[in-house]
Amino acid sequence: MTEDEQDLANEFLEQGYVIRPVDDKEGLDALRLGIVEIACKHLGIDVPNDVDEFLNKFQDHVSIENLNDLRLNTYRKMNALEWFRPTYYAMGRSKLAALVGNELAMQNRVNLSIQLPNDDSSLLPIHADSFGGETPYQVVQWLPLVDCYKTKTMFILPRPATERVYADFKKYEGRGLDAVFEDVKDELVWLDVPYGHVLIFSPNNLHGGAINDEPDTRWSMNCRFTGLFTPYRGAEKKLGSYYLPITTRAVTKTGMQYREPSGFTE
């Protein structure tokens, strides 16, 4: 590893997350504009000159009641764009290579989150992805389309505190995850992720979101990445359906195509 890669790995191992500038800012700007174009077409309005202002003040353009229809339409159309997934991957490519590897599988769809101010209809309570059958051998790449901070972002419980909770997890039996949140709320880190940066975190860490008390709308995307040969868990979380290979190397391809010769004896 280079010194930068080792620093990245050490930080990730210590806390369970890292925040860095994206690898391709021009690609990020194009990605954001593409999403704005889809949203504006759905609303029947022209694409604004100030994309950042439009996204931050999106509560002026859509009601909470109509938000999910717009989000789902944008989610479907952005994932249908041929260039979208490769561009999204490119945002954290060097960090993913250092933390996960250079033969990767990527979740088959990139998720989109839009949270209007004071909207409690799409909250994500404290959890870990492994609770839902996800492989623990993965990371989430979380990419904001606006500056995200305070309650306009997500929270995470750093790795040492998460592991302390897990070590005594049986005490929450019958009490639920709300009891976990109450016990650790003072230790949660509300991640400051400005536009132009990417967050990569282990979903084994306890994490979630709360009501956005800031005056602006939050736009963010997230997608899971794992090693191509990782142990997968659950019938619905398999390679080829939930995850798709994206960086299969030549030696792996030749190995997969190899067939033991037969039909003769020494």
Give residue limits of the domains in the chain: 3-257
Q: How far is CA 31 from the centre of its chain?
A: 15
Closest CA to 159 of 11, 7, 36, 3: 11
Closest CA to 27 of 103, 95, 87: 87
Weakest-pLDDT range from 43-57, 112-126, 252-266: 252-266
Residue 90: CB atoms within 10 Å: 16
- Say if residue 262's pLDDT is above 90: no
Q: At what angle do helices 159-167 and 3-15 cross, to 10 degrees?
A: 40
Q: How far is CA 36 from the centre of its chain?
A: 19
Assigned CATH for 3-257: 2.60.120.620
- Say if residue 261's pLDDT is above 70: yes
Mean pLDDT of 183-204: 97
Confidence at 235, pLDDT banded by 50, 70, 90: low
Q: How far apart are CA 152 and CA 162, in angstroms?
A: 22
Q: What is the pLDDT of residues 2-39, one digit of tens each?
A: 999 999 999 999 999 999 999 999 999 999 999 999 99
The pTM assigned to this predicted structure is 0.93
Q: What is the pLDDT of residues 138-177, one digit of tens each?
A: 999 999 999 999 999 999 999 999 999 999 999 988 888 8
Q: What are phi and psi of 113, to 5 degrees?
A: -120, 130
